[in-house]
């Protein structure tokens, strides 16, 4: 159910390749992630019906369906026969069975890091299976099916989804409060990650971003446990040293942040020998400090698996990112249109700053479809600050996702503290596109943010620019 979702569709593709007979339904079968399913001849029925359960052994659902639409007929019927499980539970229990799992967790950067790890393992001939919550251009899909024991996946904290996995290696990019509709505060959010690191199985390797305050809180609270259980903790950082009993530490020194790539030196310090083992220059075809941080986690995984660093260099030099992550859709009338999945203030801030660095003379538009009412309510101030970094701002109506509307919350709250001369609230996508097309000028960059239907808006803007 909801087979066209970003992670669900990837799980469906992997399940079919592993020999399961897969079918699905969705209220929007022509969604962003439908094409790989259709390419592999997976049937997608429109809407919901009890008839979908004919001959079915397992009904796989998104956790959101259990909360928001428990009244759907096939879900009610399937609960009676106890054949319902979330796609994360299905993946952990069945698809990852007997696999060496490498799970990428954290509020930001999961998809990009997962894709890079998968590509490096592929380049090294390790033939991994990979689940990504985004389309990877090299695979033309959000999944890669391999025949080896390696299984690389995103590990999402929402609904404690990642507790269905038992990774041998876990990467935690950052721990930045999110999903306020599920976690009541940062302590409960952090507690989910505490449970996650206890899911590690041999060799139990934990790779973490030492620059992140949330990660440091996790390490401090679980120091005794990690030492007692002999969990090798591998840290990576761009910033100041952080004292912790580490197995290894990777430090990057940025040498150059260009428009289309970054150059950085990486030194490895063994926690026991306290000396630099390697110092190597890497060229990454992504130009932003947060992408360099993501790549350090990838280097750490590669060395844990004894992958030759030449394979890492090969991927870094050619990897241009994934779908909906600062994805340049095209250019028309001298205006660039970029589609981005960003729906959290931290992500929006990072993308606007990276765009400013890449196009220093450009006027930047931030067009944002907010995602979920609770997120707007809790992060209102942070969204105002993030969006204010752009030169022109348009906020649309909120995409509810898995929530019911909150009457007192609207997207208009997100421009309350932004000068009205540069910020507008407009609910209708067609009108938003018209405002951008009429106001944009040569060398402008239009960033379209959102995790709902904003991918349609970015394409609408580009099409209108091309036809005027």
Q: Report the alpha-carbon distance of residue 264 to residue 326 in Å, rounded.
A: 21
Running DSSP on this structure, what letter comes out for residue 21? Answer: -
What is the bridge-based pairing of β-strands 150-155 and 100-105?
A: parallel
Show the 3-state SS of 104-169. Answer: EECCCCHHHHHHHHHHHHHHCCCCCEEEEEEEECCCCEEEECCCCCEEEEEECCHHHHHHHCCCCE
Q: Report the alpha-carbon distance of residue 368 to residue 414 in Å, rounded.
A: 10
Concatenate the DSSP letters of all residues of 26-51 into one string. Answer: ES-TTSTTHHHHHHTT-EEEES--GG
Q: Residue 56 pLDDT more than 80?
A: yes
Q: Report the alpha-carbon distance of residue 99 to residue 151 in Å, rounded.
A: 6
Q: Report the alpha-carbon distance of residue 427 to residue 430 in Å, rounded.
A: 9
Tell me the CA distances in angstroms from 147 to 15, 87, 93, 131, 151, one per residue in order. Answer: 13, 21, 18, 14, 10
Q: Nearest CA to 104 among 260, 251, 295, 314?
A: 295
Q: Would you kindly state where each structural domain of the chain is located, as residue ranges?
A: 6-85, 96-318, 327-467
368 and 449 in contact (C-beta within 8 Å)?
Answer: yes
**CB burial of residue 383 (10 Å; 0-12, 13-18, 19+):** buried
Percent of the chain with pLDDT over 70: 98
Mean pLDDT throughout 437-457? 97
Return the CATH fold of 96-318.
3.40.1190
Mean pLDDT throughout 333-351? 97
Return the CATH fold of 6-85.
Rossmann fold (3.40.50)
Percent of the chain with pLDDT over 90: 90
- Position 271 scores a pLDDT of 61
pTM: 0.94
pLDDT digits (tens, 9 = 90+) for 187-231: 999 999 999 999 999 999 999 999 999 999 999 999 999 999 999
191 by DSSP, 3-state: which?
Answer: helix
350 and 108 in contact (C-beta within 8 Å)?
Answer: yes
What is the bridge-based pairing of β-strands 276-284 and 262-270?
A: antiparallel
pLDDT digits (tens, 9 = 90+) for 254-281: 999 988 899 999 998 876 555 556 689 9
Return the CATH fold of 327-467.
3.90.190
């Amino acid at each position: 159910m909801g087979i066209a979702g970003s992670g669900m569709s990837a799980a469906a593709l992997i399940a079919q390749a592993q020999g399961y007979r897969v079918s699905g339904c969705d209220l929007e079968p022509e969604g962003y992630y439908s094409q790989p399913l259709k390419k592999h001849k997976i049937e997608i029925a429109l809407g919901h019906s009890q008839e979908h359960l004919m001959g079915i052994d397992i009904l796989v659902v998104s956790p959101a369906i259990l909360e928001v639409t428990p009244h759907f007929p096939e879900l009610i019927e399937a609960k009676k026969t106890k054949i319902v499980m979330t796609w994360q539970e299905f993946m952990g229990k069945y698809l990852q069975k007997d696999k060496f799992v490498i799970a990428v967790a954290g509020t930001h950067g999961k998809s990009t890091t997962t894709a890079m790890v998968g590509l490096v393992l592929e380049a090294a001939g390790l033939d991994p299976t990979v689940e990504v919550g985004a389309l990877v251009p090299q695979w033309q899909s959000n999944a890669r099916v391999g025949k080896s024991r390696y299984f690389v996946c995103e590990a999402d904290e929402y609904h404690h989804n990642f507790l269905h996995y038992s990774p041998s290696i876990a990467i935690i990019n950052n721990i930045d409060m999110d999903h306020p509709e599920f976690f009541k505060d940062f302590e409960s959010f952090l507690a989910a990650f505490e449970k996650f690191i206890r899911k590690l199985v041999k060799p139990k390797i934990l790779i973490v971003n030492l620059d992140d305050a949330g990660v440091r809180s996790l390490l401090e609270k679980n120091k005794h446990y990690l030492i007692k259980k002999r969990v090798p903790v591998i840290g990576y950082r761009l910033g100041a040293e952080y004292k912790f009993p580490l197995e290894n530490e990777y430090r990057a020194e940025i040498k150059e942040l260009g428009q289309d790539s970054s150059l950085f030196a990486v030194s490895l310090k063994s926690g026991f020998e306290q000396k630099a083992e390697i110092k190597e220059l890497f060229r990454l075809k992504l130009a932003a400090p947060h992408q360099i941080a993501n790549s350090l986690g990838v280097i750490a995984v590669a060395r844990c698996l004894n992958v030759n660093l030449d394979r890492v260099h090969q991927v870094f030099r050619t990897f241009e990112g994934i779908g909906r992550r600062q994805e340049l859709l095209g250019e028309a009338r001298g205006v660039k249109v970029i589609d981005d999945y960003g729906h959290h203030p931290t992500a929006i801030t990072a993308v606007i700053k990276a765009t400013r660095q890449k196009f220093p003379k450009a006027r930047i538009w931030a067009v944002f479809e907010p995602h979920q009412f609770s997120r707007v309510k809790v992060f209102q101030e942070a969204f105002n600050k993030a969006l204010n970094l752009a030169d022109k701002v348009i906020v649309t109506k909120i995409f509810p996702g898995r929530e019911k509307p909150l009457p007192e919350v609207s997207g208009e709250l997100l421009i309350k503290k932004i000068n009205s001369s540069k910020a507008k609230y407009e609910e209708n996508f067609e009108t938003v596109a018209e405002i951008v097309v009429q106001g944009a000028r040569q060398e402008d960059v239009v960033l379209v943010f959102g995790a709902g239907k904003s991918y349609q808006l970015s394409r609408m803007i580009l099409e209108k620019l091309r036809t005027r």
